[in-house]
Amino acid sequence: MNDKLLSDRLKMVASYVPANSSVADIGSDHAYLPCYLMNQQRISYAIAGEVNEGPFQSAVNQVNRSGFSESISVRKGNGLQVVEPGEVDVITIAGMGGQLIRTILLEGIEKLNGVSRLILQPNVAAHLLRQRLAELDWELVDERILEEDKKIYEVLVFDVGNGDNPYRSLSERERAKAILVGPKLAKEKNEAFIKKWKHELEKRERILRSMENAEVPSEKEAKVNYEIDIIKEVIS
């Protein structure tokens, strides 16, 4: 992978960046994504944010090699600390857990003023983002799931809007299902989706078996059973 040839998951993230926008890529690693977008002439300006010294230096070197030091600002800092309010239109965060991405957004929520789109690629726990961002009136406008190198990735796209729109008119159970597996992904049910949720079903069934001889709060066991039922409905 380099600044001209991205992985499939990052290409998918890139495909949702509107033309002529400005982007902050948080946890940018080698700054491949902003350099790729600049090579494609898709964006006018980018921030590549990194918290650790090694990846920060890698991003600086990549941006300099690519000739984009005038249009890509590489900044060292934690999460959205590298962004000023109103500085960018789009924020991308890829390759982290859903819980960490949620924390980054909540801790830097004032930095989202002026941002119109979030493009998020959580490695796990995408449901945490669907749930919390809906509460903050970020509307899930698209989501995709793909397999690459035997790993399954989800890409979620949120625009400023009505967070309830994807779940409008759903019963409480149907909303819980949509939050867990993705309202748009559940309609498509592609091969990667089915593979992921079969694996998740097996994982929860193992958890349930481990609870049989342990003193586990009844509400925890009920939650696992509830998710098992939902997953079975989804992949049936």
Helix (H) or strand (E) holding 132: helix 126-135
Q: What is the pLDDT of residues 169-219, one digit of tens each?
A: 999 999 999 999 999 999 999 999 999 999 999 999 999 998 887 776 788
Give the whole-angstrom CA distance, residue 37 versus residue 14.
7
Q: What is the pLDDT of residues 18-75, one digit of tens each?
A: 999 999 999 999 999 999 999 999 999 999 999 999 999 999 999 999 999 999 999 9
CB atoms within 10 A of CB 123: 17
- Residue among 24, 32, 70 at smallest CA distance from 49: 24
CB 14 within 8 A of CB 36: yes
The dihedral built from the CA positions of residue 36, 37, 40 and 41, taken in this order, carries a sign that is: negative
